Amino acid sequence: MISVASRTKSTIPVPHALRGFLLLLLAVLFWGGSAPIGKYLIVNRFDTMTIAQMRTSLTFILLSLFFIWKNKSVYRIKPRDGWKFAVLGVVGIALTNYTYYYTVKESSVATAILIQYTAPVLVVLYSVNILKEDTLDRVTLISLVLALIGCYFAVTSGSFHSINLKGWAMLTGPLSACTFAYQIVATKQLLKRYSVWTMLVYVFGFSALFWLCFNPPWEIIAKQYTAEDWGILWFFAIISILIPQIAFASGLKLLDASTVGIISILEPVIAIVAAFLILGESLSLIQMVGGFMVLAAVGLLQVHPMIMRKMMKVE
C-alpha cells in the first residue's frame, strides 16, 4: 500500500487533498491573522527575542504537560533521529521566527513577508530535483508563478521601492526564506515516521532549549513581567503558533511539500487583510488584485488533482 506521504499530486485521494487544504487554510488564517498582532507587540510591548522565544517555549510547555498526562507514548523516538528533531527545532522553528520578526522590525512587514514567501520556490526545486518526490507539472508551475506574482502585488502594491532591506535585515530576510523552506521539507520527512504530536513536542522542545541558551530563566524573571504580560504572551503563543502549527503539520502529512509551499503563500494575503481590519492599514486595489491572484493559484491547485484523475479515466 502506498503511503500518503509518498504519493504525487495525481494519486492523492481527493478527500485527503481537500482535508489537507482545509487544515493548511486554518494554519495560514491563524498565522496571517496574528501577524499584525505580533507587529504591534514588538513595537509597543516586547522585544523581538521575547516574542520569538515565548511563542515556542510556552507552546512546548502546554504540549508536554498534556501528553505527560494523556499519552506518554508520544515521547518515543529512535535515538538516531534525535538530531533531526533538534535541527528542525533550532533552524526550522527558532531561526525562522527570529529572522522573520527581526526583518519586520528593521525594515517593514511587507518586505519581510515578501522575501520569506519566496520559500515555496526553494521547496519545489528541492522536492523535485533533490528528493525526487514531487513532479513539477504545468499546472503546478503556473500556480507557483501566479501565486508569487500575486504575493508581490498584494504586499507591495506593485511598487518595487516598498521593498526596503537595510543593515542586518539584508541577511535575515533571505535567511528567513531558507529556514522556512527547510521547515516545510524537514517536517514532511519526519512526518513519514512519526505522528504530528511527536514531531511537535520534540521540535518545540529543542527550540525552547535553544532560546534558553540566549535568554535564560533568570533574565526573564528580571524583566518582571506582569500577569497581564504573561496573559498576552500565552494568548499570542496559542493563536500564532500552537493552533496553526498543529494544522500545518496535519495538512502537510496529507499533501506533498510543493503544494503546501504554494498554499502557504495565502498567509501574506491574510496578514494584509488582518492589518487592514485590526490596525487600520491601507488596502489598495492593486493589493486586492494580487490577493485574488494568490487565491486563483491556490484554487487551481485544488482543482488540479481532480482534473488529472478525469484525464486518467478518459485515457
Q: Of 33, 167, 27, 35, give the one whose Cα is nearest residue 109.
A: 35
Task: Tell me the average pLDDT across 285-308.
Answer: 71
**Cα separation values, 148 from 113, 119, 122, 302, Å:** 12, 10, 12, 17
Residue 314: which pLDDT band, with cuts at 50, 70 and 90?
very low
pLDDT tens-digit series, residues 222-232: 888 999 999 99
Range of the domain at 156: 4-314
CB atoms < 10 A from the CB of 214, how many?
12
Is pLDDT at 24 greater than 60 in this prediction?
yes
pLDDT at res. 136: 67
Highest-scoring range by mean pLDDT, 40-49, 156-165, 235-244, 279-288: 235-244
Residue 89: which pLDDT band, with cuts at 50, 70 and 90?
very high
> Do residues 191 and 256 lie in contact, with contact meaning Cβ atoms separated by under 8 Å?
no
Is pLDDT at 7 greater than 70 in this prediction?
no
Is pLDDT at 42 greater than 90 in this prediction?
no
Is pLDDT at 288 greater than 50 in this prediction?
yes
> Do residues 4 and 253 lie in contact, with contact meaning Cβ atoms separated by under 8 Å?
yes
Is pLDDT at 220 greater than 80 in this prediction?
yes
pLDDT at res. 58: 95
Distance, in Å, from the CA atom of 183 to the CA atom of 44, rounded to the nearest integer, reads 29
- Number of structural domains the chain divides into: 1
Distance, in Å, from the CA atom of 110 to the CA atom of 272, rounded to the nearest integer, reads 9
Distance, in Å, from the CA atom of 310 to the CA atom of 315, rounded to the nearest integer, reads 9
Is pLDDT at 315 greater than 50 in this prediction?
no
pLDDT at res. 5: 37
pLDDT at res. 2: 33
Q: Of 76, 46, 94, 80, give the one whose Cα is nearest residue 205.
A: 94
Residue 93: which pLDDT band, with cuts at 50, 70 and 90?
very high
Is pLDDT at 305 greater than 80 in this prediction?
no
More confident call, 276 vs 303: 276
pLDDT tens-digit series, residues 151-192: 778 776 666 666 666 777 788 888 998 998 899 889 988 998
Q: Of 291, 32, 260, give the one whose Cα is nearest residue 151.
A: 291
In percent, the amount of the chain with pLDDT more than 90 equals 28
pLDDT at res. 199: 94
pLDDT at res. 10: 46
Supply the mean pLDDT for the chain.
Answer: 80
Highest-scoring range by mean pLDDT, 9-23, 184-198, 267-281: 184-198
pLDDT at res. 312: 36
pLDDT at res. 251: 87
Query: The cell 524573571 sits on which residue?
Result: 221
Distance, in Å, from the CA atom of 297 to the CA atom of 161, rounded to the nearest integer, reads 25
> Do residues 284 and 159 lie in contact, with contact meaning Cβ atoms separated by under 8 Å?
no
pLDDT at res. 164: 67
Task: Tell me the average pLDDT across 112-132.
Answer: 76
